[in-house]
Amino acid sequence: MIVVGVDGSPASRGALRWALDEATRTGASVEAVMAWSREPEPVPAASPGEHPHGDQPDRRHPARELHEIVEQVRARVPRAPEVVEVTIVGDAGRALTDASRQADLLVVGATGRGALVQALLGDVPATCLRHSACPVVVVPPRRT
């Protein structure tokens, strides 16, 4: 099984595309993992019968966002396999390294720039490289 970290960034979309290409080539299954932090949301006082958020747009749920990203990327990969979609409340680095215990391969996108590993890759890929229980592929950013 290939586990791939998805956060909505172009780097994570590239990682998902790479994972789907690899799964198509090898016959592996793919699990897309999106971790998010649940932050306390202040609820303003409202008059009876009035929605507390007024006319603010609905906030997107991470599971819906992950599903849309997976469908968009899968549409661009011929014969792409189905993808198991997992959303987890918590730290992305920890969620992915935990998921790596049941994976054959962990795929993440590089997001940062700089000379040091953490600055070059970003916090999550650097954490995955240090703590993953399986091999890690870090997909570099696309050059435009």
Give 9-56 pLDDT, tens digit per residue.
898 999 999 999 999 999 999 999 999 876 545 545 555 555 444 444
For residue 94, the surrounding DSSP H or E stretch is helix 92-99
Q: How confident is the model at residue 140 (pLDDT cuts 50, 70, 90)?
A: confident
Residue type, 16: L
Task: Map out the domains of the chain with their CATH numbers.
Answer: 2-37+70-139 (3.40.50.620)
Q: What is the pTM of this model?
A: 0.79
Of the CA atoms within 13 Å of residue 29, those in its CB half-sphere come to 7
Q: Tokens 């586990």 map to which residue?
A: 3
Tell me the C-alpha distance between 84 and 86, whole Å: 7
C-alpha span between 107 and 144 (Å, rounded): 22
Q: In DSSP terms, which residues pair with 83 in a beta bridge?
A: 30
pLDDT at 57: 46
55-107 pLDDT tens trace: 444 456 889 999 999 999 999 999 999 999 999 998 999 999 999 999 999 99
The answer to whether 81 and 23 have CB atoms below 8 angstroms apart is yes
| Model confidence band, residue 132 (pLDDT cutoffs 50, 70, 90) | very high
Q: How far, CA to CA in Å, does 140 sit from each of 58, 67, 132?
A: 33, 23, 18
- Split at pLDDT 50, 70, 90, the class of 117 is very low
Rounded Cα–Cα distance for residues 27 and 34 (Å): 23
pLDDT the model gives residue 119: 43
Quick one: pLDDT at residue 121? 52
